[in-house]
């Protein structure tokens, strides 16, 4: 350390005289000391004030420049040295050195800039102001095709520098994307896939950039999918595969890239991983199985990629995914059910799958998870059933297969995601199925649970779906028994509240159900309609200029139906409905205007 102190003193003097030999000796002494104890040596360098001297030594003409840059790279490994390097004015001369032709100078300069940028806002800002990133990208472009080891080492350092420069900084990442870094990095990966260090650096850079939406569009114009799949097939180590997965997951969110990955053969790789890891207890195999099956499900979220893999229901991928559902592995059960839900995104696929017997597989899966079951598997299986129930031709088939009964077993669930899907599945199943709607609507346990969930204010989705199912039971059954069950369970007030929803579709469903109640069981529901202030709400809906035409129309139909009840009739008279309705006779919507005339006549006769 005495030698170090001497070297620092000498450096200050020598730097002015610039006698190369003595300068080289001092720099070698510093590098040696840094190799032995980097932190302590860096502290001494900082205290000595020599950093400012380094700025004057960073000249392309000097034979010591590479060593000075190397020392800066070494000291900048310490967090406490990065800001002092910026304050000492080192960034501008370092960036200028990027124009140099000497490979060793370029290498050490790239290291120095990369280390100063690491986790340092000041370092990055200084490099940004000096225009360092653009010069590095130009180097990557011009050196990209050269494969000798020294150049590959330089390329690796430059990639690392850009990564440290932009890591977790959206603005700087966008800047690199606009400078065209993505096609260059993809080209690098293709040419240098045999070089582990450079490949790894490219992957980390992709992982950083792939989170940005603008990057995905640029990636889609490259052959990144092909290169990543090619690289993936060569990997045997878990860590390397995981690195590629971390790039694939954000990229696969883009529909164009999804299709490219499917065409490049990623699915076959994923299926192979599943096969190899499914029976393993090793932690890394379990993690790999999860990642592979999750990515498989993600690929199926794109319409084109999904349809390509479905292949009219005859595709080998579709068949393999089906075999996951009866598996004993929860992760595979989950992925299988989610995959079916994703395949079930158009009527043709849904009809084929129901005819193919998939409903029974999903019901068997649900059966295995009724008691203390896996919530994510329950949710996924219910999602798949809900989607399959959308085509009209599937509803009766699924009802006769016992889907409603299978779903009702989960009424006890206290998990909102499961409740939400359960409600959606039942609502899809009874659409235009009068018999099923009546059967379910007379099920007191179900209706009571629906009324309870209509008050689940912490879970807007569950609350909304419960209201919609209550209304659907009435609208599709048109049954007096169903209405009486709902009145008895205290459901009327919720349907009245639903008429004030911010969603027009829900308002409409509520008004149609209430009109059926008024037409079929007015006496039974009278008190509940009165205490829920239905008449006042209808007055508000008709007076509100923002109400949709169908809301105004159905509100007037409902007013006419309420005239058969004495207390409700009185409320209508007390609220000057005639005045509001007569204004609607000149409404731009003809159906509304006609209904206004009819309602006005009815009100005039009844007054």
Q: What is the mean pLDDT of residues 261-286?
A: 91
Q: Is the pLDDT of residue 398 over 80?
A: yes
What 441-444 contacts at long range (C-beta under 8 Å, 24+ apart), as own/partner pairs, is 441/473, 441/474, 441/477, 441/479, 441/481, 441/482, 441/485, 441/486, 442/479, 442/481, 442/482, 442/485, 443/408, 443/485, 444/485, 444/488, 444/489
Neighbours of 140 (CB within 10 A): 18
Q: What is the pLDDT of residues 435-491, one digit of tens each?
A: 999 999 999 999 999 999 998 888 999 999 999 999 999 999 999 999 999 999 999
pLDDT (0 to 100) of residue 12: 62
Angle of helix 224-234 versus helix 238-251 axis, rounded to 10: 160
- Computed over every residue of the chain, the mean pLDDT equals 91
Q: 316-325, 374-383, 572-581: which range is least confident on average?
A: 572-581
Q: Is the pLDDT of residue 311 over 90?
A: no
Q: What is the pLDDT of residues 4-48, one digit of tens each?
A: 666 666 666 565 555 566 788 888 888 888 899 999 989 988 888
Percent of the chain clearing pLDDT 90 (strictly above): 73
Q: What is the pLDDT of residues 453-467, one digit of tens each?
A: 998 888 999 999 999
How many helices (H) and strands (E) are present in the chain, helices listed first?
Answer: 40, 0
pLDDT (0 to 100) of residue 1: 45
Q: Is the pLDDT of residue 570 over 70?
A: yes
Distance from C-alpha of 602 to C-alpha of 607, rounded to nearest angstrom: 9
Q: Which residue would you say has higher pLDDT here, 52 or 264?
A: 264
Q: What is the pLDDT of residues 166-198, one digit of tens each?
A: 998 999 999 999 999 999 999 999 999 899 999
* pTM of this structure: 0.83
């Amino acid at each position: 350390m005495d030698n170090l102190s001497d070297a620092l003193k000498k450096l200050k003097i020598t730097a002015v005289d610039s006698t190369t030999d003595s300068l080289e000796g001092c720099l070698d002494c510093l590098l040696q000391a840094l190799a032995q104890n980097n932190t302590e040596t860096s502290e001494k360098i900082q205290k000595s004030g020599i950093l400012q001297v380094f700025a004057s030594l960073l000249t392309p003409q000097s034979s010591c420049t590479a060593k000075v840059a190397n020392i800066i790279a070494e000291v900048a490994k310490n967090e406490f040295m990065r800001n002092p390097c910026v304050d000492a004015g080192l960034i501008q001369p370092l960036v200028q050195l990027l124009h140099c032709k000497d490979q060793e100078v370029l290498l050490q300069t790239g290291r120095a800039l990369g280390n100063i940028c690491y986790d340092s806002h000041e370092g990055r800002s200084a490099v940004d102001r000096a225009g360092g990133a653009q010069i590095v990208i130009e180097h990557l472009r011009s050196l990209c095709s050269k494969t000798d080891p020294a150049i590959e080492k330089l390329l690796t350092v430059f990639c690392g520098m850009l990564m440290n420069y932009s890591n977790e900084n959206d603005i700087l990442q966008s800047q690199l994307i606009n400078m065209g870094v993505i096609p260059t990095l993809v080209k690098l990966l293709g040419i240098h896939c045999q070089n582990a260090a450079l490949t790894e650096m490219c992957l980390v850079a992709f992982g950083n950039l792939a989170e940005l939406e603008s990057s995905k569009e640029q990636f889609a114009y490259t052959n990144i999918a092909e290169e990543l799949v090619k690289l993936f097939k060569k990997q045997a180590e878990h860590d390397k595969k995981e690195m590629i997965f971390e790039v694939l997951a954000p990229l696969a969110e883009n529909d164009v890239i999804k299709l490219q990955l499917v065409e490049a053969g990623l699915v076959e790789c994923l299926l192979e991983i599943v096969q190899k890891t499914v029976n393993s207890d090793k932690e890394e195999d379990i993690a790999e199985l999860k990642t592979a099956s999750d990515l498989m499900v993600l690929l199926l979220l794109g319409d084109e990629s999904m349809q390509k893999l479905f292949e009219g229901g005859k595709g080998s991928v579709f068949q393999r995914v089906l075999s996951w559902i009866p598996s004993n592995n929860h992760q595979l059960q989950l992925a299988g059910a989610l995959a079916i839900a994703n395949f079930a995104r158009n009527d043709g696929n849904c009809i084929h799958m129901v005819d193919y017997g998939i409903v029974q597989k999903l019901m068997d899966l649900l059966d295995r998870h009724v008691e203390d079951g896996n919530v994510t598997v329950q949710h996924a299986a219910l999602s798949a059933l809900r989607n399959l129930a959308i085509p009209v031709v599937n509803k009766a088939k699924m009802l006769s297969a016992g889907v409603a009964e299978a779903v009702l077993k989960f009424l006890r669930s206290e998990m909102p995601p499961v409740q939400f899907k359960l409600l959606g599945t039942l609502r899809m199943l009874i659409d235009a199925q009068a018999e099923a709607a009546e059967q379910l609507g007379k099920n007191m346990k179900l209706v009571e649970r629906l009324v309870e969930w209509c008050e689940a204010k912490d879970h807007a989705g569950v609350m909304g779906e419960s209201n919609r199912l209550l209304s659907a039971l009435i609208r599709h059954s048109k049954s007096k028994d169903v209405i009486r069950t709902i009145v008895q369970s205290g459901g009327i007030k919720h349907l009245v509240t639903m008429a004030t929803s911010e969603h027009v579709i829900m308002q409409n469903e509520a008004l149609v159900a209430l009109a059926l109640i008024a037409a079929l069981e007015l006496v039974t529901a009278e008190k509940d309609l009165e205490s829920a202030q239905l008449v006042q709400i209808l007055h508000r809906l008709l007076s509100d200029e923002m109400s949709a035409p169908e809301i105004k129309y159905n509100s007037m139909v409902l007013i006419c139906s309420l005239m058969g009840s004495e207390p409700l009739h009185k409320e209508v008279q007390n609220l000057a409905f005639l005045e509001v309705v007569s204004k609607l006779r000149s409404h731009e919507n003809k159906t509304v205007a006609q209904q206004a005339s009819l309602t006005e006549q009815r009100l005039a006769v009844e007054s």
